[in-house]
Amino acid sequence: MQTDKVMDIPCGTKTGVNITFEKIEVVNRLQREHVYETIREYGVHYDKTWIYDKIHHEINQFCSSHTLQDVFIDKFDQVDDKIRATLQADCNRYAPGIEIISVRVTKPRIPESIMGNYVAMEVERTKVLVAAERRKVVELETEMERVKAVAEAEKKKLTSQILQKQLLLEREAQQQQEAISNQLLLARHKALADAEFYRMSREAEAHRLKLTPEFLEFTFLSALNNNTKVFFGEKLPHMVLDQRLLRGVFDEGAKGRRLHQEQQQQQQEEAQAP
């Protein structure tokens, strides 16, 4: 394996600008089984025919069909592969023992006046790229701030929803507790009322059962006995102390009132009759 260095290759571009490739390196090797045949046909310096001279020819072909912008900027990255492919194609056809492994092409040298323009253009392009990158950074920072603000707003919204839900649950629990307390209080008052009603019913029933003529007579006599008075003087008051006589008086009075009412009703009916 060897590296052939082809130096100072002049060429003219499609637009008439003369430039020079200072160095092109071609890494190649001669396959062992083709050594004798290749040296017999092209001599020991076979690479002069198929590499050195061929490089000059291919570089001039490339420059003559492209502008300076293409050669120096736009398509410079393609020169290596194009040269290697063309060299290998010719070697395969006429000298099959030669293998082109790689080609390295340096930037061509161009006139100083034009180089100044390219430098200025590159400076401007660099400024544009820097501005574009700065704009991207600003946009990225703005987007990050927006995402952060949205996330913060979502966080506050979620927190508010959780607090509202918690407050609602607390209110519902308080209402349920108050409802249970009200039910217990209502049940207690109802139980007390039922107990009082039962007590009064039983007491009334007991009183009703007590109110017999014998019991009333006994109560009347007991009261008179407890209220005995002693009178002094020449005259003593007269009083009938027999309940049965008093009851007869009450009954006669009630009978008289009923008779009087019946007479009044009869008189009203006679007055209304035609």
Structure tokens at 261: 């009412």
- Calculate the alpha carbon distances from 2 to 34, 81, 82, 102, 271 in Å: 16, 19, 20, 11, 163
The one-letter amino acid code at 15 reads T
Per-residue pLDDT, 33: 87
pLDDT digits (tens, 9 = 90+) for 131-148: 888 899 999 889 998 998
Phi, psi of 27 (to 5 degrees): -90, 125
Please, are residues 26 and 6 in contact by the beta-carbon 8 Å criterion?
yes
Q: Which of 150, 114, 1, 14 is nearest to 71 (CA)?
A: 14
Exposure pattern of 27-55 as b/e (b: 16+ CB <10 Å)? ebebeeeeeeebeeebeeebbebbbbebb
Per-residue pLDDT, 44: 85
Per-residue pLDDT, 249: 46
Per-residue pLDDT, 255: 57
Phi, psi of 11 (to 5 degrees): -160, 160
Crossing angle of helices 213-226/243-272, nearest 10°? 120
User: Beta partners for 128?
Assistant: none
User: Beta partners for 21?
Assistant: 9, 108
Structure-token match 């009082």, residue found: 196
Per-residue pLDDT, 243: 47
DSSP 34-103: GHHHHHHHH-TTHHIIIIIHHHHHHHHHHHHTS-HHIIIIITHHHHHHHHHHHHHHHHHHH-TTEEEEEE
Structure tokens at 197: 């009603």
Q: Which of 1, 6, 101 is nearest to 49 (CA)?
A: 6
Which residue ranges of the chain lie beneath pLDDT 50?
240-245, 249-250
Per-residue pLDDT, 37: 87
How many Å apart are CA 121 and CA 207, to the nearest integer? 126
Query: CB burial class (10 A; 0-12, 13-18, 19+) of residue 10?
Result: middle
